[in-house]
A and B are shown apart, each in its own frame.
Chain A
Amino acid sequence: MQTKLTINGKSHNLNADTRTTLLDALRNHLGMTGTKKGCDHGQCGACTVIVNGRRINSCLTLACMHDGNEVTTIEGLGTVDDLSPLQRAFVAHDGFQCGYCTPGQICSATAMLEEIKAGWPSHVSADLNAEIALSDAEIAERMSGNLCRCAAYPNIVEAIRTVAQGGRT
């Protein structure tokens, strides 16, 4: 099935089996292997990408359903020579070890910070109607859809907090 996707600002024409998930389209058809498959069932977050501004699990959606959509993957956030602030902070705070969950963590965090800016509450927000205080608990809850078995969680929270507070790393 023909599907037109704009990925990291570049237009791509995908011709794939309707069964192809967005994740497998990126990896197996479009050669963008930065997005990782950790569970293929929406249980780990390694495949997180940003579609039309929102973070989603790319393993649990069909590529053909995204005809005309704007997709941002880890490759679109920065490069080795030009890291995004979050990418830089993850390096500085050692927000990873093996690095496998990292593209998903960073895509997730990038979109998550926008959700906070938009005033979305979370499970740990004491008052659903108040402004969000950017506590470690808020960051941790909002990042809980991204598992990290190396368990860099404290460092991930630090990295995100630093960027959210506009700090340099």
Chain B
Amino acid sequence: MTAFHKMDEPDHRNRLDAMVQGVLGTGMDRPDGPEKVTGSATYAHDGQVAGMLHGVMVRATIAKGRLEHIDAQAVEALPGVRAVLHGDRFLRNPAQGTANEAPVQGSRDIAYLGQPVALVVADRFEQARHGAQSVTLRYSEESASVAPDAETAEVPDKKQSSAGDLAAAMDRAAFCVDAVYTTPGHNSAAMEPHAAIAAWEGDLLTVRASCQMLKYNVNELADALGVDPEHVRILSPFVGGGFGSKLGISPETVAAALAARALGQPVAVALSRQQVFEATMRRSETRQHIRLAADAEGRLTGIGHEALVSNLEGEDFSEPVTQATPFLYRGENRLIGHRISRVNRTCAGSVRAPGEAVGVTALEIAMDELATAAGIDPVDLRRRNIPERDPGEDRPFSSHMLRAALDDGAAAFGWENRPQGGARQGDWLAGCGMSSASRVNMIGKSSARVTLHPDGTALVETDMTDIGTGTYAILNQIAAEMLGLPPARVKVRLGDSDLPKSAGSGGSWGASSAGSSVFLACERIRQDIAERCGCDEGTLTLKDGMAIADNRARPLAQVLAGAPLQAEGEIDKGKTSEAVRQATFGAFFAEVAVNAVTGETRLRRMHGSFAAGRILNAKTARSQCLGGMTFGIGMALTEELIHDPRDGHIVNHDLAEYHLPVNADVPQLSVNLLEERDPWANPMQAKGIGELGICGAGACIVNAIHDATGIRVRHLPATLDKLLEGLDRLDDLG
């Protein structure tokens, strides 16, 4: 039996708050924790099987052209090498999120330097690696476009919008900002490089892979291989981080499957770290022209946000930089522009919070500039500009917590009593900054199966993934809460494409979507129990394995009478995703120290207050926020894909030179999660929180640098070289 629910109406019942097990929302330890801390959690490349061969991918070393010849023979003669494989089914790019079909395939046409063009398979990894390094490729090279160009960029009609007259508003404004901001490309850099182990049994394929969205990934893989999706099974019980880079299938998965079929043996293929940088998604660099017009009280009368991004020819995805701009602040004159430049660079796709991560960040630097120009406290400036309704589409907000987050964050950080900007301690200049956070909220179609066993244990099953987000914990808690069971009596099975199909992990929708499906399945089971107890589901109490109705408590085992109860729940988005604007909000506050000699910036402390509807697990939700904020620290200070000016290739394609924040870059961060329920979002009244922590986070740091030094950095990251000239001027003043 399936309980299906489409979110056409807000669900005001708030059923979860009526439950009494007291598990949901607590900071319960992750049930998968012991496996992770002992090395017994099995990630894609850990599920090694007998007779497994190793494959290593070969890359193109030109930016554009045609691969004329692969000298396979010499390599196949090397010790241990089984085959050099290439051809029309190998992937050129990874698949975009929710593509549901194969991305561009074929080894012949080369679109970027680093594109995978062949796979060398050998008995041993060392043999395959050397084989891959020994392959000689012959090309006919064509001239490439390796840098984004505003002049020749595409201007898609449906991505432009305007209301009122921004130019006139700028003319009339008491205060305005008109500036260009840039953000460089980023890599997700999940700690687990993309990997797959493929094995065929007859025409049935099983792949252990590192994937975020199995429902789509099965179809993408099947389409790439030209087989029936029913014959493809993907296992991803543990995923070593995704951040968007594993939304769609990537080259190694298809290569492993093709090689395993060709050679009749299981084949493992893991991308090297360099290949992760070159052949999985990058976040596009952005150029953002922002205009803000405000009246004498700092109330916005106009907002313009025009973005230039890039991607390969033919790719639909383009970084949705301005996604939050239409609704974040008031202002009747509005302009949104979007251009896409076609370049021969690594494919651009989703990296944690595509759009808002860079778009809100630039907008929030601009807001700080406006606050400075108008002489208004930056928190207050934001308070004055919170719209009553979604100004872009003139519809209500489902709920709106920006003001609450600003107030809470300012109090928690001690904004009113912050140190004077520019205060000097030794060589270090102190400064504080803040920024707003916002991210759109959504759900996707998602199913789960829940079985309540007669022994009073429950099993939750879905093809949903836990990419570090805490899925194992929260689905356990939802089921435990609804069914009145201690969490130890609930088992959660994830990451197997044979299980009911979920929305997958991505776009911050995983917890809401998969969680709601578990909620629905449990609700159906509760109805069944209520019926057996002769009561209404609304009056049934389930706690600690007991069913309580009409002042009578019975053990579940007795109610079930030896037979399990099973239900499937399925949620889908409906009219509530259009009828109202659903978004999550927050506020960031940071204190930095900038070295007056060298321009090095060190973050001293950072606080985030966030509202994302019901919080399902206080501990894992906080960790998601810490992670997002740290992505923001990287974006503000250190992370940048450097492209070679001649061939566009990513020169800093490793973790030594692409600078993720290290432990010493990150002080103790504080996070407050605000109490909120959003009935428009889903029956749990919860919203996504996985990405909110990055959306605007970098801006509070850049704004703090300005507070400390008076130097406005508009081109991220704010590496020391961008501060030196300004520090020279400070010296002269001092």
Q: Is the CB of B663 within 8 A of A91?
A: no
Partner of B193, one of A17, A37, A150: A37
Chain A 84-125 residues near chain B, CB threshold 8 A:
87, 90-92, 94, 96-103, 106, 124
Chain B 652-677 residues near chain A, CB threshold 8 A:
654-656, 660-664, 666-669
Q: Is the CB of A31 within 8 A of B48?
A: yes
Chain B positions 200 through 241: 1 when the CB is less than 8 Å from some CB of chain A, otherwise 0: 000000000000000000000000000000000000001111
Chain A positions 147 through 161: 1 when the CB is less than 8 Å from some CB of chain B, otherwise 0: 111111111111000
Q: Is the CB of B34 within 8 A of A83?
A: yes
Q: Please give the distance in Å from B537's CB to the nearest CB on chain A.
A: 34
Q: Is the CB of A98 within 8 A of B655?
A: no
Q: Is the CB of A97 within 8 A of B40?
A: no
Partner of A24, one of B125, B130, B620, B669: B125
Q: Is the CB of B39 within 8 A of A94?
A: no
Residue B596 interfacial (CB < 8 Å): no
Chain A positions 76 through 87: 1 when the CB is less than 8 Å from some CB of chain B, otherwise 0: 011110010001
Partner of B668, one of A33, A144, A154: A154
Q: Is the CB of B626 within 8 A of A34?
A: no
Residue A58 interfacial (CB < 8 Å): no
Q: Is the CB of A100 within 8 A of B240?
A: yes
Residue B468 interfacial (CB < 8 Å): yes
**Who on chain B is nearest to A152 by CB?**
B623
Q: Is the CB of A91 within 8 A of B37?
A: yes
Q: Is the CB of B35 within 8 A of A36?
A: no
Chain B positions 602 through 637: 1 when the CB is less than 8 Å from some CB of chain A, otherwise 0: 000000000000000001101110110111000000
Residue A162 interfacial (CB < 8 Å): no
Residue A28 interfacial (CB < 8 Å): yes
The residues of A that contact B190 with a CB separation of less than 8 Å are: 98, 100, 149
Q: Is the CB of B43 within 8 A of A36?
A: yes
Q: Please give the distance in Å from B497's CB to the nearest CB on chain A.
A: 20
The residues of B that contact A149 with a CB separation of less than 8 Å are: 188-191, 241, 243, 627, 660
Partner of B656, one of A20, A43, A94: A43
SS class, residues of chain B in contact with chain A: loop
Partner of A140, one of B33, B624, B663: B663
Residue B46 interfacial (CB < 8 Å): yes
The residues of B that contact A27 with a CB separation of less than 8 Å are: 45-46, 48
Q: State in angstroms the CA–CA spacing of A157 and B191 once bound together.
A: 19
How many residues does chain A have at the interface if contact means C-beta atoms less than 8 Å apart? 64
Q: Is the CB of B663 within 8 A of A75?
A: no
Q: State in angstroms the CA–CA spacing of A43 and B124 once bound together.
A: 24
**Who on chain A is nearest to B54 by CB?**
A28
The residues of B that contact A143 with a CB separation of less than 8 Å are: 663
The residues of A that contact B15 with a CB separation of less than 8 Å are: none
Q: State in angstroms the CA–CA spacing of A128 and B258 once bound together.
A: 57
Q: Is the CB of A40 within 8 A of B39?
A: no
Q: State in angstroms the CA–CA spacing of A33 and B238 once bound together.
A: 13
**Who on chain B is nearest to A138 by CB?**
B664
Q: State in angstroms the CA–CA spacing of A106 and B660 once bound together.
A: 20
The residues of A that contact B38 with a CB separation of less than 8 Å are: 34, 74-75, 77-80, 83, 87, 103
Q: Is the CB of B273 within 8 A of A38?
A: yes
Q: Please give the distance in Å from A55's CB to the nearest CB on chain B.
A: 14
Q: Is the CB of B660 within 8 A of A147?
A: yes
Q: State in angstroms the CA–CA spacing of A80 and B630 once bound together.
A: 29
**Who on chain B is nearest to A44 by CB?**
B655
Residue B469 interfacial (CB < 8 Å): yes
The residues of A that contact B32 with a CB separation of less than 8 Å are: 99
- Which of A20, A33, A90 counts the most chain B CB atoms within 10 A? A33
Q: Is the CB of A150 within 8 A of B655?
A: no
With A39-B655, A41-B656 in contact, do A98 and B125 touch (Cβ < 8 Å)? no
The residues of B that contact A91 with a CB separation of less than 8 Å are: 29-30, 33-34, 37
Q: State in angstroms the CA–CA spacing of A24 and B227 once bound together.
A: 33
Q: Is the CB of A144 within 8 A of B663?
A: yes
Q: Is the CB of A97 within 8 A of B45?
A: no
**Who on chain A is nearest to B273 by CB?**
A39
Q: Please give the distance in Å from B151's CB to the nearest CB on chain A.
A: 36
Q: How many A-B residue pairs have CB under 8 A?
A: 200
Chain A positions 1 through 36: 1 when the CB is less than 8 Å from some CB of chain B, otherwise 0: 000000000000000010110001001100111111
Partner of A37, one of B30, B48, B270, B630: B270
Q: Please give the distance in Å from A124's CB to the nearest CB on chain B.
A: 8
Q: Please give the distance in Å from B559's CB to the nearest CB on chain A.
A: 32
The residues of A that contact B36 with a CB separation of less than 8 Å are: 96, 99, 102
Q: State in angstroms the CA–CA spacing of A161 and B273 once bound together.
A: 31
Residue A67 interfacial (CB < 8 Å): no
**Who on chain A is nearest to B469 by CB?**
A97
Q: Is the CB of B654 within 8 A of A98?
A: no
Residue B126 interfacial (CB < 8 Å): yes
Q: State in angstroms the CA–CA spacing of A46 and B48 once bound together.
A: 19
Residue A131 interfacial (CB < 8 Å): no
Q: State in angstroms the CA–CA spacing of A34 and B624 once bound together.
A: 24
Residue B42 interfacial (CB < 8 Å): yes
With A28-B125, A94-B623, A149-B191 in contact, do A34 and B39 touch (Cβ < 8 Å)? yes
- Which of A27, A37, A100 counts the most chain B CB atoms within 10 A? A100
Chain A positions 131 through 146: 1 when the CB is less than 8 Å from some CB of chain B, otherwise 0: 0000011011101111
The residues of A that contact B40 with a CB separation of less than 8 Å are: 34, 75, 79-80
Chain B 460-499 residues near chain A, CB threshold 8 A:
467-470
Q: State in angstroms the CA–CA spacing of A19 and B126 once bound together.
A: 7
Q: State in angstroms the CA–CA spacing of A34 and B656 once bound together.
A: 23
Q: Please give the distance in Å from A94's CB to the nearest CB on chain B.
A: 5
Q: State in angstroms the CA–CA spacing of A98 and B43 once bound together.
A: 10
Q: Is the CB of A94 within 8 A of B240?
A: no
Residue B192 interfacial (CB < 8 Å): yes
Q: Please give the distance in Å from A9's CB to the nearest CB on chain B.
A: 16
Q: State in angstroms the CA–CA spacing of A101 and B669 once bound together.
A: 20
Partner of A99, one of B189, B270, B273, B468: B468
Q: Please give the distance in Å from B76's CB to the nearest CB on chain A.
A: 18
The residues of A that contact B2 with a CB separation of less than 8 Å are: none
Q: Is the CB of A97 within 8 A of B627?
A: yes
Q: Is the CB of A140 within 8 A of B126?
A: no
Q: State in angstroms the CA–CA spacing of A144 and B659 once bound together.
A: 12
Q: Is the CB of A150 within 8 A of B623?
A: yes
Q: Please give the distance in Å from A91's CB to the nearest CB on chain B.
A: 4
Q: Please give the distance in Å from B409's CB to the nearest CB on chain A.
A: 17
Q: State in angstroms the CA–CA spacing of A154 and B30 once bound together.
A: 17
Q: Please give the distance in Å from A36's CB to the nearest CB on chain B.
A: 7
**Who on chain B is nearest to A93 by CB?**
B619
**Who on chain B is nearest to A151 by CB?**
B630
Given A34-B38, A149-B188, A149-B627, 6 more contacts at CB 8 Å? A28-B124, A83-B37, A90-B33, A94-B33, A139-B663, A156-B663
- Footprint of A on B, CB under 8 Å? 29-30, 32-43, 45-46, 48, 54, 124-127, 130, 188-193, 238-243, 270, 272-273, 467-470, 619-620, 622-624, 626-627, 629-631, 654-656, 660-664, 666-669
What are 13 A-B pairs with beta-carbon distances under 8 A?
Answer: A27-B46, A28-B54, A33-B46, A34-B38, A43-B656, A74-B37, A97-B623, A98-B238, A100-B241, A140-B663, A148-B191, A149-B190, A149-B191
Shortest Cβ-Cβ A-B pairs, 8 listed? A34-B39, A100-B240, A98-B468, A99-B36, A151-B630, A97-B468, A74-B39, A91-B33
